[in-house]
Amino acid sequence: MDAVVRRARPITGEFTLPGDKSIGHRALLIAALANGTSELRQFPNSGDLVRTLDCIRSLGVGVGRNETSLVIEGKGLGGLREPEQTLDAGNSGTTARLLSGILSGQTFQSSLTGDQSLRRRPMKRIIDPLSRMGARIDSTPGFTPPLTIHGRFPLKPISYELPVPSAQVKSAVLLAGLFAEGTTTVVETQPSRDHTERMLSLPITEQGGKKIVSVTGGKTPGPIQMNIPGDISSASYLIAAALTVPQSEIVLRNIGLNPTRTRILGVLQNMGGQIHVHERGSELGEPFGDIHVSFSALSGNITITGRDVPLLIDELPLLAVTAALCKAHFQLREARELRHKESDRIALLVRNLRSMGLDVEEYEDGFAFEGKKNVIGARIQTDGDHRVAMAFAVAGLGAHGETVIPDAHSSDISFPGFWDLLSPFITS
């Protein structure tokens, strides 16, 4: 499906968004390993989470729904069964990497694959530590899926310093550590999302500027009762749209405010964005609240490097188009990881920004440009990447002429209902 985006009328109203995808993946997997019944309320129906749900069903976990919740009958650490067929993670790198950690601690063999995009994504980063723990993982010669995982129980505990900041790799090792005979430790030199350690209530220390997280094997997680807060990454698209479309004013209700996820708000506030956050409570250590956003004359420069990259990894495409619309100087470096997401996001962003009239300099690990007053509409290349599609939908709201977004339905991977929310504000 192609979507056509034109300049927007003021974006106004109150919105409740789908639950946080990162929290949803972890809640599903931990609930599957728990002893007892978990209930996940406001569970998002995104494409990636459906893949995780299908995978745990194939491993023998009972899943049901009532009027308001997803109900999971946990099997405990030793209760998963060998799947009858290859597990399909679809487009979801989170599903593939986190589930590999759990499968490594089983007494059976399993196979895991995904769509064409996932089968290009690097898995050596999880294969290395999980192999050190005693699992044997076969892959393609390029260390991409499909994977065949020969599990081992118990696994060997390890101490592992992440060579690349990655919440997915960290979570894979910590989940595998539940099946180890002893204490497994993960060391981070740069912070990344911490949903797994919050949900498992893991001890965290800091030493020499490094964060150290440990998990003791053999401790079965307890069941989860949780209202999943709205996804801050999804909220970012509406926040950027409201900031850049004149006379806009919105309130986003019950949005997750985990401090490893809200760096996007600080960047936009530093540019003059009128964003007011009202924290209202927490769920299993995950703070949530309301976000009030008003149109703002954004200005200034955006430079993103080093420690900020993993804290903004999903929002980088959106920040780039926001800078383009407000005539800011934008520079991104040390973000080579973007070349290994659902697409080569650096190449796609450079190509699409150029098609909208910007002079962009590309680097191996990022890109830079000067925003301009008259961004022009264009036909966008998305390669099926949901975040690129949604980011350039926001760009189209402020561009001159029409912006065409192919594969617009790809937004359902992370933000079901995105176009339903946006379309009433697009001028005809």
List, in sequence order, every beta strand (DSSP E) within 128-182: 136-138, 147-150, 159-161
Tokens of 1: 């499906």
Q: Which residue has the tokens 């978990």?
A: 38
CA distance 395 to 330: 15
Residues counted in the chain: 428
- Answer for the pair 130, 101: CB distance below 8 angstroms, yes or no: yes
Is 359 tagged catalytic?
no
Backbone Cα Rg of the chain: 21
Nearest alpha carbon to residue 34 among 198, 159, 175: 175
Tokens of 428: 């005809």
Mention every residue, 6+ apart, whose C-beta is less than 8 A from residue 54: 88
Q: Which residue has the tokens 């995978």?
A: 55
Nearest alpha carbon to residue 302 among 270, 256, 263, 254: 270
- 147-150, strands of its sheet edge to edge: 87-88, 109-113, 147-150, 136-138
CA distance 220 to 354: 52
Element spanning 281, H or E: strand 274-283
Tokens of 145: 């899926």
- Please state, as a whole number, how many other Cβ atoms lie within 10 Å of the Cβ of residue 403: 28
Q: What is the DSSP string of 296-323?
A: ----SEEEE-TTHHHHSTTTHHHHHHHH
CA dihedral 77, 47, 90, 332 (to 10 degrees): -100
Element spanning 93, H or E: helix 93-103
CA distance 319 to 257: 18
Q: Which residue out of 20, 314, 385, 407 is catalytically annotated?
A: 314
Active site residues: 314
